[in-house]
A and B are shown apart, each in its own frame.
Chain A
Amino acid sequence: MSEGQFDAYGVDAAYDRGEAVCVIGAGMAGLLAVKNLREQGFTVDCYERETAVGGSWNWRHDRSPVYSSTHLVSSRTHTEFPDFPMPDDWPDYPHHSQILAYLERYTDHFGLREHIWFGSEISRIEPTGDGRWDVIVKPVSGNAARRLRYSAVVIANGHNWDPRLPSYKGQEEFRGEILHSSAYKEPARVRGRKVLVVGAGNSGCDIAGEIAVNADKCWHSTRRGYWFVPKYMFGRPGDQTMARMSWMPFGLRQKVSQFAIRRVVGDPRRFGLQRPEHALFASHPIVNSHLLHHIGHGTITPKPDIDHFTADEVHFTDGTSVKPQLVIMATGYRTTFGFCDPELLGMEGGDDGSPRLIGHMFTPRTPTLAVAGLLQADGGIFPLVHWQTIAIAKWLRLRQKDPEAAARFWANAVPEAGRRYVHGKLNDTPRHRLEVSYEVYLKALGQMIEELDGVK
C-alpha cells in the first residue's frame, strides 16, 4: 500500500481492534455472521451502509430488489434459520415484509444491534501482511474516514444489488423507458402502459405475473426453455415434495420430477414457450405457478430472445416485433466487491469473474478473509448461510485456539478451492458459478464443521 492511500483517507494510524472481527453488511448473511461469531466468543464490529438491518429484504433500502408482491420461492420451513424458527402460523410462502420482520426480530432477540454501525460504508479493506486487516470505514454522509485493524473480515455484502443490464443492438435509440427489475417496486408504475419484461429468472417470472394484471399489455421475452416448478406439488410446497423423494438416487429423482412436472404442468411449447433443453435441476429451477396461468388467460404474451431495438420497437429472434412503452430488464445482478482487490478473492478479472473460493467461503489467498452468502441454491439459502457462518466462526476460533490443527485443516482445504457442490453438471453461465445443490453443499458444510470441531 502506498503513502498516497493513507493520505487520501486522511488516516495515518489504524485503531487496533485486537482480536475483533469485522463483518461487512447487516443483511441476512451479515446478521448470521454477527450472531454466530459472537456465539464463538468473538467481539464483532458490523458495518452497514443503510440505517437499518435487512439488506435486500428491506424495501426501504435504495438497493433492495424487492417489489410490492415479492414472496419467498422456497417454503417457510425450508427457509427459516435452523436455530430460530419462523412463527409456525405464518403462511407457506411468506411476504417480503414478513422476512424483514423476521430478520429484525432475530437482530433484537440475539441483541445484535449494539454490534452494528449503521450508515457506515467500507471504502477499502487491505491485508496488513501478518494475517490481519486494515478496514477503512467511511460514513455514508460525510467523509471522515477511519482506519481500523481487525483480526479477520467476513464479507456479507450480498450479490443481488448491482444490476446486470444487457445491451442489445439499437438499445440506445429506443425512446421508451428501460428499467432494471431492481428499480421496479409498485404496479402503479405500469398501469395503462404496454410493458415488455425480459428474463425468466424467478424475479422476471414473478414480475411478469404482477404486471400482467396491472398493465395494458404484457410481453415476456425469454432466451431459452425453462422448467417451471409449481409452488405446490401434490398438495405441498414443492420443496417439501422434493425432500420426500430424497431417498431416491439423484438421477431417479430427476426423472421422476421431470415426469411429474411434464404431466401436471404440461408441455411448455403449447403455451408458446420453448422446451427446456437441459435436465431439471441442471439450471436454477423457476418456482412459479402463475406464469402459465397468465399465458393461458392471454394476459402475458410469451416472446423469444430480443434481436434488436429500434426507436419505438423491440424485434425478436423469430422476426416478430412489439411496441412497448416500458421495458423491464429482469436480467440479474453482478457480484461486486468494490472495496477490495479482486485478486484477493481469486477473481479472474472481467465483469463477471466470480470468486474462486474454498467451500464458497474462504479465499485460498488468505485464511482470515471469508465471504458469507455468496451462493444460489435449488432450495432456501438461509440455512446454508447459517451453517456457513458457523463454519467461518469455528475456523477463526480454531486458528486462535490450536494453530497446529488449523494449519492441517488449511492444508487440506486449499486444494478444494473452486470445487463445485452440485449434482451432475450445471450450466456454466456466470450466475450458475454461484450455484450449489442444497443437499450436496449442506453435507460438505457438515463435514467441514465436524473437522473444525475435531470430530473424527
Chain B
Amino acid sequence: MSRLDLLRLGDRREPVPHAAREVITSEPDEPAGKPALLFVGGDRRGAGIFAEHWLGHAAGRGFPAYALSVRGQGRAAEVKGDLRAWASDVAQTAASLPARPVIIGHSKGAQILAEALARYPARAAVFVAPRLGRLVPPTPAGAPPTLVVGDPDDKRAPRQMLEKAAAHYGVAPLFFQGAGHEMMLAAAWREPLDAILDWLDGTVVGE
C-alpha cells in the first residue's frame, strides 16, 4: 500500500481552481434510506453514458443516483484539466451531496476515483473495468469497502489489470464474461449493475 501524503505540496502551492461540472441526477420515487451513488466516467462523454440505463435502474432500486462530468467531459467540456483537477471535481461533488456517497469509476474514471479516494472518504468504492494507469494509487481516506468488476475478456481492462487493481485494494475481482468494456451501454447492462447493487445492499445499506 502506498504511503500517506500529509503535506499535499502540489495542492498547497497551486490549488485546483473552480471549473464548471455537470451532474445528471436520478432520484428514487420514495426515499429508501440507501446511500447515494456517484458515477464517474473516463472519457469525453462523461456523465451521459450512465444516464442511458444505469442511473434510472439504480434509482429504481432505491439508490439516489448521480453521474458526474468532470472538467473536460460532457457538458463541462470547455475547461481542460489533469488527473489532480478531475479528482478534485469528484471530491467536490461528493462533498456537496447531503450524505456520503458510494463512488463508482469506470475505465479511466476508475483512475480518477482512485485519486479522489485519497481526498474523500467514500461510503464504498466500485471500480468498473478499471484502467488505473502505471502509478501506484494513493492510500484511500477512511478505508472504504471496495469492489472491482470487469470482463476478463475485455481488451482495454483485461484480466491481469482487474486482478492487479483488486489485489491493490485487497479484494477479489468480480468477473462478468462477455459484458465488454462499456458494460453500461451493452445489451446485458442490467447484470453487472444488479451485482454491484446487490453487493452494496449487503455491505453498506443499513450499516
Q: Which A residues have a C-beta under 8 Å from some C-beta of B?
A: 39, 76-78, 82-85, 87-89, 105, 108-111, 239-240, 243-244, 246, 383, 387, 439, 442-443, 445-446, 449-450, 455
Shortest Cβ distance from residue A101 to the other chain B in the assembled complex, whole angstroms: 12
Of the candidates A85, A239, A387, the one having the most CB atoms from chain B within 10 angstroms of its own CB is: A85
Q: Is the CB of A85 within 8 A of B119?
A: yes
Please name the residue on chain B nearest to A41 by beta carbon: B143
- Report the separation of the CA atoms of residues A387 and B5 in the bound assembly, to the nearest whole angstrom: 11
Q: Is the CB of A85 within 8 A of B91?
A: yes
- Report the separation of the CA atoms of residues A76 and B88 in the bound assembly, to the nearest whole angstrom: 14
- Report the separation of the CA atoms of residues A387 and B98 in the bound assembly, to the nearest whole angstrom: 24
- Report the separation of the CA atoms of residues A445 and B99 in the bound assembly, to the nearest whole angstrom: 29
The answer, yes or no, to whether B95 is at the interface (CB within 8 Å) is yes
Residues of B within 8 A of A455 (CB): 1, 3
Residues of B within 8 A of A110 (CB): 100
Q: Is the CB of A446 within 8 A of B6?
A: yes
Q: Is the CB of B12 within 8 A of A243?
A: yes
Q: Which residues of B in the span 85-101 have a Cβ within 8 Å of any Cβ on A?
A: 88, 91-92, 95-100
Q: Which B residues have a C-beta under 8 Å from some C-beta of A?
A: 1, 3-4, 6-9, 11-18, 88, 91-92, 95-100, 119-121, 141-143
Q: Is the CB of A240 within 8 A of B141?
A: no
Which of A78, A88, A244, A445 interacts with B17 by CB under 8 Å?
A88
Q: Is the CB of B6 within 8 A of A387?
A: yes
Residues of B within 8 A of A89 (CB): 18
Residues of A within 8 A of B13 (CB): 240, 243-244, 246
- Report the separation of the CA atoms of residues A439 and B9 in the bound assembly, to the nearest whole angstrom: 10
- Report the separation of the CA atoms of residues A303 and B100 in the bound assembly, to the nearest whole angstrom: 52
Which of A39, A246, A442 interacts with B6 by CB under 8 Å?
A442
Please name the residue on chain B nearest to A110 by beta carbon: B100
Q: When A85-B91, A85-B119, A88-B18 are in contact, do A39 and B142 touch as well, CB less than 8 Å?
A: yes
Q: When A108-B98, A109-B98 are in contact, do A439 and B92 touch as well, CB less than 8 Å?
A: no
Listed from nearest, the 7 A-B pairs whose CB atoms lie closest are A77-B15, A243-B12, A83-B141, A88-B18, A446-B6, A89-B18, A243-B13
Which of A84, A87, A88, A105 interacts with B16 by CB under 8 Å?
A88
Which of A77, A105, A446, A449 interacts with B12 by CB under 8 Å?
A77
How many A-B residue pairs have C-beta atoms within 8 angstroms? Tell me.
Answer: 76
Known: A85-B119, A240-B13, A446-B7. 6 other contacts (CB 8 A): A76-B15, A83-B120, A84-B95, A85-B91, A240-B14, A455-B3
Residues of B within 8 A of A88 (CB): 15-18, 88, 92
Q: Is the CB of A450 within 8 A of B92?
A: no
Q: Is the CB of A82 within 8 A of B92?
A: no
Please name the residue on chain A nearest to B15 by beta carbon: A77
Residues of A within 8 A of B11 (CB): 77
Which of B3, B7, B14, B143 interacts with A439 by CB under 8 Å?
B7
Please name the residue on chain A nearest to B14 by beta carbon: A240
- Report the separation of the CA atoms of residues A383 and B119 in the bound assembly, to the nearest whole angstrom: 12
Residues of A within 8 A of B96 (CB): 87
Q: Is the CB of B95 within 8 A of A85?
A: yes
Which of B12, B18, B99, B120 interacts with A111 by CB under 8 Å?
B99
Please name the residue on chain A nearest to B19 by beta carbon: A88
Residues of A within 8 A of B88 (CB): 85, 88
Q: Is the CB of B95 within 8 A of A109?
A: yes
Q: Is the CB of A443 within 8 A of B6?
A: yes
Q: When A83-B142, A243-B13 are in contact, do A446 and B98 touch as well, CB less than 8 Å?
A: no
Residues of B within 8 A of A442 (CB): 6-7
Q: When A83-B119, A85-B88, A88-B92 are in contact, do A240 and B7 touch as well, CB less than 8 Å?
A: no
Shortest Cβ distance from residue A248 to the other chain B in the assembled complex, whole angstroms: 13
Which of A39, A76, A387, A446 interacts with B121 by CB under 8 Å?
A39
- Report the separation of the CA atoms of residues A271 and B161 in the bound assembly, to the nearest whole angstrom: 65
- Report the separation of the CA atoms of residues A445 and B4 in the bound assembly, to the nearest whole angstrom: 11
Residues of A within 8 A of B9 (CB): 243, 246
Q: Is the CB of A78 within 8 A of B12?
A: yes
Shortest Cβ distance from residue A89 to the other chain B in the assembled complex, whole angstroms: 5
Residues of B within 8 A of A39 (CB): 121, 142-143
Residues of B within 8 A of A450 (CB): 3-4
Residues of B within 8 A of A109 (CB): 95, 97-100
Please name the residue on chain B nearest to A379 by beta carbon: B12
Please name the residue on chain B nearest to A75 by beta carbon: B15
- Report the separation of the CA atoms of residues A65 and B136 in the bound assembly, to the nearest whole angstrom: 45
- Report the separation of the CA atoms of residues A78 and B100 in the bound assembly, to the nearest whole angstrom: 23
Residues of B within 8 A of A449 (CB): 4, 6
Q: List 21 A-B contacts (CB under 8 A).
A: A39-B121, A76-B15, A77-B12, A78-B12, A82-B8, A82-B141, A83-B141, A85-B92, A87-B92, A88-B16, A88-B17, A88-B18, A111-B99, A239-B12, A240-B12, A240-B13, A246-B13, A387-B6, A445-B6, A446-B4, A446-B6
Please name the residue on chain A nearest to B7 by beta carbon: A442
